Structure 1
Amino acid sequence: IGETGPSVTMTEADVAVYQADKADHQSVVKVQAGEQLTEIQMLEALLLPSGNNIATTLAVWDAGSLPAFVAKMNDTAKALGLEHTHYADASGDSPATTSTATDQTALALEAMKNPIFAQIVAMPQVTLPVQGIAYNVNALVGHDGVVGIKTGSTPQAGGCLVFAAQRKVGGQKVLLIGAVLGQQGVSVLETVLKSVRALIDTATPALRAQTLITAGQTVARVHVPWQSAAIEVKAPQAVSVIGWPGLAFDAKVQAAPLGRTLQEGAPVGTLIITQGKREVARVPLTAPSAVTGPGLRWRLTRF
Structure 2
Amino acid sequence: MSIDDRRDEFAEFSAMLARGEAQATSRGSRPTLEVEPDGRIAPPMDAAAVARARRRRTRAGIATVVVVLMILAVVGTYIPLALSAPVDAATVHLQPVTAPKATAVALSLPQVGESAVSVAGAEDFEGTTGTNGILASSGGTAALPMASISKLITALVILDAKPLGEKDAGPNITFSKADHDLYDKYYVMDASIEPMSTGSVMSERDALATILVASACNYAEAMSTWAFGSQANFLSATRKWLSAHGMADTKLVEPTGVDARNVSTPTDLIAIGKLAMANPLVATIVGSQSASVANIGQISNTNDLLGIDGVNGIKTGTLDSSDLLFSARVDVGIPEPITVVGVVLGGDSRQSVNDAARALIASIQSGFQQIRLVGEGDVFGTYTTPWNDDATIVAGEHASALAWSNAAVTSTRTTRKVTTAKTGTKVGSVTFVAGKATVTVPLVLKGSITAPDAWWRLTHPAHLFDPR
* TM-score scaled by length of structure 1: 0.65
- Contact 1:7-1:39 at 8 Å conserved across structures: yes
Rate the CA distance shift 1:6–1:206 in 2: closer, same or farther, 3 A.
Answer: same
Ranked by relative contact order (alpha carbons within 8 Å, sequence separation 6 or more), the top structure is 2
CA distance in 1 between counterparts of 2:292 and 2:249 reads 36
CA deviations 1:22-81 (Å, max 9, x no partner) are 111001111111211101101100101111111101110111111211121121111111
- Give 1:91's aligned residue: 256
Q: Which of residues 161, 168, 178 in structure 1 aligns to 2:342? A: 178
Cα deviation, residue 170, structure 1: 4.0
User: For residue 366 of structure 2, what is the amino acid of its counterpart?
Assistant: P
2:242 aligned residue = 77
Provide the secondary structure at the position in 2 that maps to 1:169: coil
Q: Does 1:202 align with 2:363?
A: yes
2:313 counterpart residue number: 148
Q: Output the amino acid matched with 2:172.
A: S
Q: Contact 2:305 / 2:354 at 8 angstroms: preserved in 1?
A: yes
Residues 309, 361 of structure 2: 8 Å contact kept = no
Q: CA deviation at 1:190?
A: 2.6
Give the residue type in structure 2 aligned to 1:194.
Answer: D
User: Any idea what SS the aligned residue of 1:112 has?
Assistant: helix
Task: Give the secondary structure class of the aligned counterpart of 2:331.
Answer: strand
1:245, CA displacement in angstroms? 6.0
Question: Moved runs in structure 1, 4+ residues, more than 3 A?
Answer: 242-246
Taking the aligned partners of 1:43 and 1:245, their CA distance within structure 2 comes to 43
Q: Is the 8 A contact 2:309 2:358 kept in 1?
A: no
Show the 5 A alignment for 1:289-300.
none
Q: CA–CA distance in 2 between the matches of 1:50 and 1:208?
A: 39
Task: State whether residues 175 and 196 of structure 2, in contact with CA within 8 Å, keep that contact through their aligned partners in structure 1.
Answer: yes
Aligned residue for 2:263, secondary structure, equals coil
In the TM superposition, what whole-angstrom CA distance separates every residue of 1:72-100 from its partner, at most 9, and x where no partner exists? 11211111111211111111221111101
- CA distance, structure 1, for counterparts of residue 368 and residue 236 of structure 2: 38
Shift of 1:17: 0.8
Matched, 1:166 2:319: no
Aligned residues: 210
Q: Residues 47 and 208 (structure 1 numbering): CA distance in 2 closer, same or farther, change over 3 Å?
A: farther
Contact 1:35–1:129 (8 Å) recurs in 2: no
Q: 2: CA distance between counterparts of 1:135 and 1:197?
A: 21
Distance in 1, Cα, partners of 2:366 & 2:201: 47
Instruction: Give, as a single letter, the amino acid of the residue that structure 2 aligns with 1:25.
Output: D
Letter in 2 for 1:181: L
State the AA in 2 paired with 1:10.
F
The offset of 1:244, in angstroms, is: 6.2
Cα 1:58–1:245 change in 2 (3 A) is: farther
Which runs of 5 or more structure 1 residues have no equivalent in the other structure?
A: 210-241, 247-303
Measured in 2, the distance between the counterparts of 1:94 and 1:64 equals 21
Distance in 1 (CA, whole Å) between partners of 2:229 and 2:404 is 43
Q: Deviations over 1:217-263 (max 9, x none)?
A: xxxxxxxxxxxxxxxxxxxxxxxxx97668xxxxxxxxxxxxxxxxx
| Identity across matched positions, percent | 29
Classify the secondary structure of the residue corresponding to 1:73. helix
Instruction: Measure the CA separation in 2 of the matches of 1:146 and 1:177.
Output: 9
Counterpart of 1:66 in structure 2: which amino acid?
Q
- Secondary structure of the corresponding residue to residue 53 of structure 1: helix
Does residue 27 of structure 1 match 2:192? yes
Per the alignment, residue 231 of structure 1 pairs with: none
- Mapped to 2, the partners of 1:245 and 1:6 lie a distance apart of 52
Matching of residue 136 in structure 1 with residue 297 in structure 2: no
Please state which structure has a larger fraction of its residues in helix.
2
User: Displacement, 1:131?
Assistant: 2.7
The change in CA–CA distance for 1:55 and 1:243 in structure 2 (over 3 A counts) is farther
The 2-side partners of 1:4 and 1:119 are apart by 13
Deviation at 1:173, TM superposition (A): 2.1
Q: Is the 8 A contact 2:276 2:282 kept in 1?
A: yes
Q: Which runs of 5+ in 2 are unaligned?
A: 1-165, 371-402, 408-468
Residues 49, 134 of structure 1: 8 Å contact kept: yes
Structure 1 counterpart of 2:323, one-letter code: C
Name whichever structure is richer in strand by fraction: 1
2:217 and 2:267 mapped to 1: Cα distance?
23
- Residue-by-residue CA offset, 1:142-175 (whole Å, 9 max, x unaligned): 23321100001112xx111110111123413211
Q: Deviations over 1:198-218 (max 9, x none)?
A: 221222212479xxxxxxxxx
Match of 1:130, SS? Answer: coil
> Partner of 1:193 in structure 2?
354
Query: Residues 22 and 206 from structure 1, CA distance in 2 versus in 1: closer, same or farther, beyond 3 angstroms?
Result: same
Distance 1:70 1:206 in 2: 42
Distance 2:255 2:369 in 1: 38
